[in-house]
Amino acid sequence: MAKNEKNNLSPKDEKRIKRAFHNKRWPEVASTMSWSIFKIMAEFVDGYQSLARIGPCVSIFGSARTPEDHPHYEQARRIAYELSKAGLGIITGGGPGIMEAANRGAKEAGGKSVGLNINLPFEQTPNPYQDRDKTLMFDYFFVRKVMFMKYAQGFVVLPGGFGTMDELFEALTLVQTDKKARFPIVLVDKAFWSPLLDWINKVLLEEHKYISPEDLFLFHIVDTPEEAAEVVLEFYSRYTLQPNF
């Protein structure tokens, strides 16, 4: 893709920016808004209807770029397998990498395997381990993220990029602000997460006091699939599993 040397933008990026600033006539605005609203509503309705009676689930996040022979792939697969064996459904983004590994583990254990797929120009190819009746497609990230959060009673986060960070901090924010019950949030691979946690401690907490000391107890950090599954299952052992309507 050719780049504009002056500002490092591609011609496609330039075109999209100019279109965003283009003055539109009201009929054009009204028409575009109306169709967008209906499309957003349709995605919410489809998600709610498909997942409303799915039962207790755990959302597993991580990079779409993780290859099958990577240790993180096998960790995600084993975590999903153990949780599924215990009766919990597994929710992922439906794509390759960690998502595929988790759906695969759920499928191998005979558990519920949910895929919340997103239409993207790259990276997102639906993996073959999702249950057909629990495979959803989204155009809007924010609608998809609502489904991740609304229908999960636990979150396991393996190493990943911007998308994984977005999902992690969404879960943390909802629990921190009491918009979501204090379900377990588990980070897997201490070496990967330690630099981020050091920054959270030193910059957010100690230097600026943008978070409270108790916020550091909103999540667990582990190194093995067994530890990750244990944190989630120990939490569930204290409660009767009920459908999450």
Residue with tokens 């959270």: 200
Q: Is the pLDDT of residue 209 over 50?
A: yes
Question: Per-domain residue ranges for the chain?
Answer: 40-237
Q: Where are the beta strands (DSSP E) in the chain?
A: 57-61, 89-92, 113-118, 135-138, 155-157, 185-188, 220-222
User: What pLDDT does residue 17 have?
Assistant: 77
Q: Is the pLDDT of residue 236 over 90?
A: no
User: What pLDDT does residue 28 have?
Assistant: 63
Cα–Cα distance, 106 to 4 (Å, whole number): 45
Cα–Cα distance, 141 to 100 (Å, whole number): 19
**Confidence band of 29 (pLDDT split at 50, 70, 90):** low
Give me the helix-helix angle, 71-85 and 225-237, nearest 10°.
30
Quick one: which H or E segment has residue 227?
A: helix 225-237
Can you tell me the mean pLDDT for 14-35? 71
Encode pLDDT of 56-89 as tens digits: 999 999 999 999 999 999 999 999 999 999 999 9
CA dihedral 75, 76, 78, 79 (to 10 degrees): 110
User: What pLDDT does residue 243 have?
Assistant: 42
> Residue 134: what are its φ and ψ, rounded to 5°?
-125, 25
Segment among 4-8, 75-79, 116-120, 239-243 with least mean pLDDT: 239-243
**Confidence band of 26 (pLDDT split at 50, 70, 90):** low
CATH code for residues 40-237 = 3.40.50.450
Q: What is the residue-averaged pLDDT of the chain?
A: 90
Cα–Cα distance, 170 to 146 (Å, whole number): 10
CA 102 to chain centre: 12
Q: Is the pLDDT of residue 23 over 90?
A: no
